Structure 1
């Protein structure tokens, strides 16, 4: 029974490690790559003290075993200034190294810091709903639900808010997660280095539908993105106050779909509502 339980625990641990590895150790953008470098460097610094301590513990236990008559026993020994300096200096250096790396990375990977690129950034406005994601493309005049399409190799400037409780926007293979809060606008800059399909999710528990609050990120070549935006514009339903309220009231997992038009100022109106969905107005979704 014990052997079976041990095997089961080992299998679950291996499965969990395999599931996390592609997202954390397979970055698809400069922000995620920087975070991976910081993670590995921090681990290396910490192992620099952990491994010697483990080896020293084994060595001390072996040397001072009862059968070793060469080991000296010093019952009167109580203090050594040099040894005390050594014991405290090593962890102090580790803390200094970790703090320095964290300080540098926190500035280099600042979510609001624009990414260096020859390509002009695009803007995507993100609204967290119960329990779905709404992506608005103000420059293209379209919107999508539970599917984010972005051009590969082009910086994306995300402006993020919530129309309900606090949530967290996270695409592990692209980088930093950031909170979406009602009445507030968060900014996040990400970029996909290569075309591909990535998983996006909510990293903050927000209710009974939280486990299904994920979305697909499709990074496509710039020409394909332009064709997608042009093909979406004018097709399907329009995003306005009435359709937004209807979307907000839907519960459960929703298949991705698009809106063919978005009124100007829609995202700003959603932020001003401070947690209440945009009301129907005579301006097609804008506040009167």
Structure 2
């Protein structure tokens, strides 16, 4: 028609163009795994969801069908005000939830044993050992075999298991890399274990999944999965520069700090992790309540 200009994009096209912008704000998580433990965690979640939907969906449909059948205008619906008991209905009401609980319990039982965080991952290559110390509000990662350490960054070769020993020099925290596996707690005076592996190159977000004070939101780190050559180069670079993690350096780490950028230490004293566990965090945890230094 004269005088009418057709829009360049239809409304549908505009929605399609806007969708990637909205989805771009979604960070990868447990449903986008990048390692064997993460894949197993996702399978447990999806199996559990399917089992629960097996009762939720029929219940919703039955509710809608019930409301439609017993509507005021349906003369075929039988009005039974004296109805009190039905053996078939009783069997249905109790058997289906019982089966759901049994199936969910089976999935949880099998999955929790197959994905036991303290159980080493099956692999033909030796794992990379990393000792982890939770601090206020940062993560210390010590590589005992390489003799280096890093703050808020883990680097490991692709396809190589990483064996974590975890403790805390302050209040309770929780180490969690959503795309690679489940979380495990870090507690003063205790040692927990976690085994993860990245099968795809990339940089994966890690965080503390347990509130630990005002700096908690920034207590994040990156776990970078790189080639063996890149890992060797990173280790060599760490040894070539950076400070030494001596007693003075460790005491400095115990001080509160937020949103700390990653950096490395070129040397670490042997037995640091065991000393932190035996110390039970007395240098900081005894002065901390609810994550706030007193």
TM-score in same-fold range (> 0.5)? yes
Pairwise CA distance, 1:240: 1.3
Under a length normalisation based on structure 1, what TM-score does the superposition of the two structures give? 0.88
2:204 matched residue in structure 1: 198
Under a length normalisation based on structure 2, what TM-score does the superposition of the two structures give? 0.86
1:182 aligns with 2:184: no
1:244 matched residue in structure 2: 250
Change (3 A) 1:18 1:55: farther
1:216 matched residue in structure 2: 222
Change (3 A) 1:250 1:92: closer
1:276 aligns with 2:282: yes
Q: Which string of whole-angstrom CA distances, capped at 9 and with x for unpartnered residues, describes residues 82-105 of structure 1?
A: 220111100100000000000000
* Unaligned segments of structure 1, at least 5 residues: 1-13, 279-288
1:25 matched residue in structure 2: 31
Aligned-partner Cα distance in 2 for 1:258–1:108: 34
Q: Which string of whole-angstrom CA distances, capped at 9 and with x for unpartnered residues, describes residues 162-211 of structure 1?
A: 00111111111111101100010000011001110011101010001001
Aligned-partner Cα distance in 1 for 2:196–2:63: 45
Aligned equivalent of 2:107, options 81, 101, 110: 101
Q: Which runs of 4+ in 1 moved over 2 A?
A: 14-20
1:140 aligns with 2:140: no
Aligned-partner Cα distance in 2 for 1:16–1:104: 34
Change (3 A) 1:234 1:273: farther
Change (3 A) 1:15 1:203: farther
Pairwise CA distance, 1:234: 4.3
Aligned-partner Cα distance in 1 for 2:144–2:78: 77
Aligned-partner Cα distance in 1 for 2:274–2:52: 45
